[in-house]
Amino acid sequence: MALDIEKLEKIIRLEMADNYQDHKVYRGLAAFIHNWTRDAITRHLTLPEKELVEKVADNLTDYARMSVLERARAIQEVLDLTAGSKSANGNGNGGTPAVRTLDPIPTRPVSAPPNPPPLSSSASPAKPAVWPDQRPSAIVRQSVRVVAPDPETPAPARQPAPANTPAAVVDLGAKLTTVKGIGETYAKLLSFAGLNTIHDVLYYFPFRHEDFSSFKKINALMYGQTESVVAQVLETVTKRTYGGKEMIEVTVADDTGRLSCIFFNRRMTYGLKTGSQVVLSGRVDEWNGRICFKAPSYEAADRELTSTGRLVPVYSTSGPLKLATLRKLIKTVVDRYAAALPEHLPAAIRERHHLVPLAQAVKDYHFPASLAVREKARQRLAFDEFFLVQLGVLLKRHEWQEERPGIPFEINQSLLEAWKDALQFKVTSFDPETKEPLEEMRKLELTGAQQRAIADILGDIQKDRPMNRLLQGDVGSGKTVVGATALLMAVANGFQGALMAPTQILAEQHFQGLSRLFEKLEESEYFQKLGLKVRLELLTGNVRKKEPVYRRIRDGEVDIIIGTSAVIEEVVEFHRLGLVIIDEQHRFGVRQRKALRGKGANSASNAEGANPHLLVMTATPIPRTLNLTVYGDLDLSLMNEMPPGREPIQTKWVMPPERNGAYKFIRKQINEGRQAFIICPLVEESDKIEAKAAIEEHDRLQREVFPDLKLALLHGRMKPAEKDLVMHQFRERQYDILVATSVIEVGIDIPNATVIMIEGADRFGLSQLHQFRGRVGRGQGKSYCLLLAGEELSQVGSERLRAIEKTNDGFELAEIDLQMRGPGEFFGTRQSGVPDLKVAGINDVNILEAARAEAIQLFEQDPGLKEVPHQLLSTKVARLWSLEGDLS
């Protein structure tokens, strides 16, 4: 069943006729929308329909609270959407009210869109998209040739856009100075924004559009709103303000009234010639009790509007490049060269998902004619991003799994049982009278989630393809034991295992924890019968006498190597590396992952060149959209269950006046035998200043607040050995409170610590706060997280604190974080070597899944993307991942 657009429109028109008073619709328009939406989602909707419904709801659910003007805008937006959906259907009103797609373009040959923009009008049906007859010879690095190569013809220089004329060669990788209208000066300005080639500019997308599309009559202007009018210039008068400043008043008029436009710079009025017809856009201001425009942007009404009168793209600029200039330059380039972008998506895929051609999408995403058109363009580009990322991911996986064999391990069930039997964890309780801590080792029963993860892993490592798995479980879910199980299997099969942790402290902790686990195992009857021993070695960047360690690793005298990135240093040579585990993956880059895997093939006695199995562990819950992009090459095991006996951590945002109360609370916990963390605020300038701040805070707390307690200090400038010592002593309860910088962010496991106080909490990201909070609540007993923030809190800062106060669910927090920060920043994707998503957003799950499915299918047809028609795609993927030819 399809959507009832007609009903929606009918109600909307009723409301418009009623001047947006929200009286005409029973219980208000929002109530109607609510019902309409609910009704809609019970139907079997197509993807564009679903999106339409979402957008309608987005626009109108707040209707009751909107001003009349906001209502008018929201309604206009909805009408745009529904109109867009109808033209997509190829029928006007009447007929079927159904909407099948938002595509404003009827499904016919893609190279001839309706309402052709001036540029593509020259694209004749005789010149289809380059796909799929693109020949590899036509692709030379960045330059993409359209149709027949003709080295004689340089980049097109005439307007309008001869790019489409047959035989033209458009080198999209060409310097911007080759573009007519862009000289050295502009090219230099553009290079400040990182734009050096034509291709750069085409893909430099606006982050939003200003909506000037609805012109107003002068008598309908509303104070405070951003509006556009078409008017005639009547006169220009120079005045003086009370302060004596020169002020130029330009009066314009339309058939409904007059409007003053105030400028404080004569030069800004030069385009406003008396008698001329102009489009003015700006915020409606007030002067001398009348509404006016102050320094509006304007443009002659007859020229094609770039900066006014429509959806105006807003680009991020910095440095000396003005937005208006940038916009104009981009328009020049887009108008002339967008059409030359070769299509890399197979036509079948485009048709299946109603995707507009690339050239058109790029053009429309810069300068859309309507919101519906913009959305269509966005969908195409978002699809591209996901598709290319997925292909890259598949290629890497292919490279990894197909080109070299893996090592099939045998799983010794008796050993596995013995191991499970030997697993223990530490529980601390307190003598109710003496308050003395009573430590006891208890048998560890694996949680269901742990068992499932172990089963996944054991399944993988028995195959002759290398395991490639991501173990994702919230902080404290018990990933270490799972990883240790895999390590044990590697050792039992006569191979070495490596465990890489992001920090020294964490590596140290893993070393101790695993040593304890394996010691217990060695005491077991079964193990003693085998006469086996698991030899662990800690390898960090600071091992003085590294040489002998290297030798032992090389000679196979070490079974499990635990360390920081020191493990992947060139000099480290393994004897027989069979398994690699990377803990807290988000801290490592893709390159490091690759380097460590590469170690397997280079093992001393690995003649076959087999790849080791790989297990990646992370506590960072990644929203699905990102998960598939960032970790798309990994199989996923989710641990969504906490070990029993954990109580949720109680989080409280403490107001500055309550600070002393917070200290009292910490003291109370310590009196009960517990320990506490106090995290110093993030100092961005440098490690050194941060360390200094931490030292001062530690001294202050020790002197003024907790003179009778033992306070330890931990910061990033301490030597690794010092850090280890402090952590060790804290774990051994020689201190009550650990004052630390963000160095303790991940992984630290001190079950006896039950309270963490985070200073300057508003400065940390949500995921980071969640990680900090995960330092407590790891043992029996209730734990607390106290958040302190500065007096002047940013909007975002307080939103974050409210969010973390409300939920303990890392996944939910990650979603919120992502909403607030955008994917790039959220994950530091650039850093981790994964392409950034520029257009796609986290809500594009549907597009992602479509793109992923297509990528997988395409890859099945042509693993490695080696076939000729896929050359362009393969080049694109390689460029996106910027793996310097690694993939091509």
- Min dist CB 453 to ligand ADP, Å, is 10
Report how far residue 73's alpha carbon sits from residue 311's, in angstroms, rounded to the nearest whole number: 13
Interaction of residue 305 with ligand ADP, rule CB under 6 A = no
Q: Which does 749 bind (CB under 5 to 8 A by kind): Mg ion, ligand ADP, none?
A: ligand ADP
Beta pairing partners, 470? 616, 636
Question: In the 8-state DSSP scheme, what is residue 8?
Answer: H
Token digits of residue 432: 């109710």
Residue 517, sorted as left (phi over 0), alpha (psi -120 to 50) or beta, turns out to be: alpha
Find the binder of ligand ADP among 89, 134, 480, 669 (CB under 6 A). 480
- Min dist CB 484 to ligand ADP, Å, is 9
Q: Which does 86 bind (CB under 5 to 8 A by kind): ligand ADP, Mg ion, none?
A: none
Report how far residue 235's alpha carbon sits from residue 480's, in angstroms, rounded to the nearest whole number: 77
- Min dist CB 477 to ligand ADP, Å, is 4
Compare residues 483 and 632 and give the one whose CB is closer to Mg ion. Answer: 483
- Min dist CB 643 to Mg ion, Å, is 13
Beta pairing partners, 560? 497, 536
Count of Cβ atoms closer than 10 Å to residue 23 Cβ: 11
Compare residues 763 and 775 and give the one whose CB is closer to ligand ADP. Answer: 775
Residue 234 exposed, middle or buried by CB count within 10 Å (0-12, 13-18, 19+): middle
Interaction of residue 643 with Mg ion, rule CB under 5 A = no
Report how far residue 284's alpha carbon sits from residue 466's, in angstroms, rounded to the nearest whole number: 64
Cβ-proximal residue to ligand ADP, closest one: 478
Report how far residue 235's alpha carbon sits from residue 833's, in angstroms, rounded to the nearest whole number: 58
Token digits of residue 768: 């980071």
Report how far residue 744's alpha carbon sits from residue 740's, in angstroms, rounded to the nearest whole number: 7
Cβ-proximal residue to Mg ion, closest one: 747
- Min dist CB 750 to ligand ADP, Å, is 9
Instruction: Give all strands (DSSP E) within 596-639, no chain letters.
Output: 613-618, 635-639
- Min dist CB 118 to ligand ADP, Å, is 59
Compare residues 619 and 682 and give the one whose CB is closer to ligand ADP. Answer: 619
Interaction of residue 781 with ligand ADP, rule CB under 6 A = no
Compare residues 468 and 480 and give the one whose CB is closer to ligand ADP. Answer: 480
Q: Which does 445 bind (CB under 5 to 8 A by kind): Mg ion, ligand ADP, none?
A: ligand ADP
Find the binder of ligand ADP among 187, 305, 416, 446 (CB under 6 A). 446
Residue 208 is which amino acid?
A: R
- Min dist CB 648 to ligand ADP, Å, is 15
Q: Which does 751 bind (CB under 5 to 8 A by kind): ligand ADP, Mg ion, none?
A: ligand ADP
Q: Which helix (H) or strand (E) holds 872?
A: helix 871-881
Place of tokens 């210039």: 233
Report how far residue 764's alpha carbon sits from residue 681's, in angstroms, rounded to the nearest whole number: 8
Interaction of residue 425 with ligand ADP, rule CB under 6 A = yes
Q: Which does 778 bind (CB under 5 to 8 A by kind): Mg ion, ligand ADP, none?
A: ligand ADP
Q: Which helix (H) or strand (E) holds 850?
A: helix 845-861
Tell how strand 468-473 and strand 635-639 pair up.
Answer: parallel
Q: Which does 643 bind (CB under 5 to 8 A by kind): ligand ADP, Mg ion, none?
A: ligand ADP
Interaction of residue 848 with ligand ADP, rule CB under 6 A = no
Interaction of residue 747 with Mg ion, rule CB under 5 A = yes
Give how far the C-alpha of residue 177 lies from the chain's centroid of Cα atoms, to the nearest Å.
Answer: 34
Backbone angles phi, psi at 228, to 5 degrees: -125, 140
Compare residues 565 and 871 and give the one whose CB is closer to Mg ion. Answer: 565
Residues 607-646 close enough to bind ligand ADP by CB under 6 A: 619, 643
Using DSSP, state whether 411 is helix, strand or coil.
Answer: coil
Compare residues 770 and 800 and give the one whose CB is closer to ligand ADP. Answer: 770
Report how far residue 386's alpha carbon sits from residue 841's, in angstroms, rounded to the nearest whole number: 10
Interaction of residue 478 with ligand ADP, rule CB under 6 A = yes
Q: At what angle do helices 479-492 and 413-422 cross, to 10 degrees?
A: 140
Compare residues 403 and 445 and give the one whose CB is closer to ligand ADP. Answer: 445
x/- site string to ligand ADP, residues 38 to 77, per CB under 6 A? ----------------------------------------
- Min dist CB 449 to ligand ADP, Å, is 9
Token digits of residue 269: 């009025």
Number of amino acids touching Mg ion (CB under 5 A)? 1
Report how far residue 489's alpha carbon sits from residue 461's, in angstroms, rounded to the nearest whole number: 9
Furthest-apart CA pair in the chain: how many Å? 103
Compare residues 385 and 474 and give the one whose CB is closer to Mg ion. Answer: 474
Report how far residue 499's alpha carbon sits from residue 651's, in angstroms, rounded to the nearest whole number: 33
Smallest Cα–Cα separation from 763: which of 797, 786, 802? 797
- Min dist CB 454 to ligand ADP, Å, is 11
Instruction: Give all strands (DSSP E) within 241-348, no chain letters.
Output: 246-254, 257-263, 277-287, 290-294, 297-300, 311-314
- Min dist CB 616 to ligand ADP, Å, is 13
Find the binder of ligand ADP among 447, 752, 768, 771 (CB under 6 A). 447
Compare residues 610 and 740 and give the one whose CB is closer to ligand ADP. Answer: 740
Find the binder of ligand ADP among 197, 477, 741, 768 (CB under 6 A). 477
Residue spans of alpha helices (H) in 403-443: 413-422
Compare residues 113 and 747 and give the one whose CB is closer to Mg ion. Answer: 747
Find the binder of ligand ADP among 18, 445, 523, 547 (CB under 6 A). 445
Smallest Cα–Cα separation from 481: which of 574, 416, 535? 416
- Min dist CB 650 to Mg ion, Å, is 22
- Min dist CB 583 to Mg ion, Å, is 6
Report how far residue 86's alpha carbon sits from residue 307's, in angstroms, rounded to the nearest whole number: 28
- Min dist CB 438 to ligand ADP, Å, is 17
Report how far residue 832's alpha carbon sits from residue 584's, in angstroms, rounded to the nearest whole number: 13
Interaction of residue 514 with ligand ADP, rule CB under 6 A = no
Q: Which does 156 bind (CB under 5 to 8 A by kind): Mg ion, ligand ADP, none?
A: none
Is 766 in contact with 806 (CB distance < 8 Å)? no
Part in contact with ligand ADP (CB under 6 A); list of ranges 255-263, 272-280, 445-453, 495-503: 445-453
- Min dist CB 772 to Mg ion, Å, is 14
Residue 572 is which amino acid?
A: V
Find the binder of ligand ADP among 481, 507, 590, 877 (CB under 6 A). 481
Interaction of residue 485 with ligand ADP, rule CB under 6 A = no
Q: What is the DSSP secondary-structure string of 334-399?
A: HHHHGGGPPP-S-HHHHHHTTPPPHHHHHHHHHS-SSHHHHHHHHHHHHHHHHHHHHHHHHHHHHH
- Min dist CB 473 to Mg ion, Å, is 9
Length of the chain: 888
Q: Which does 105 bind (CB under 5 to 8 A by kind): Mg ion, ligand ADP, none?
A: none
**Residues in Cβ contact with 71 at an 8 Å cutoff, skipping those fewer than 6 apart:** 15, 20, 22, 63
Interaction of residue 781 with Mg ion, rule CB under 5 A = no
x/- site string to ligand ADP, residues 735 to 774, per CB under 6 A? --------------x-x-----------------------
- Alpha-carbon Rg for the chain, nearest whole angstrom, is 32
Q: Which does 468 bind (CB under 5 to 8 A by kind): ligand ADP, Mg ion, none?
A: none
**In the complex, which residues of this chain contact Mg ion (CB under 5 A)?**
747
Point out which residues bind ligand ADP (CB under 6 A).
Answer: 425, 444-447, 450, 473, 475-481, 619, 643, 749, 751, 778
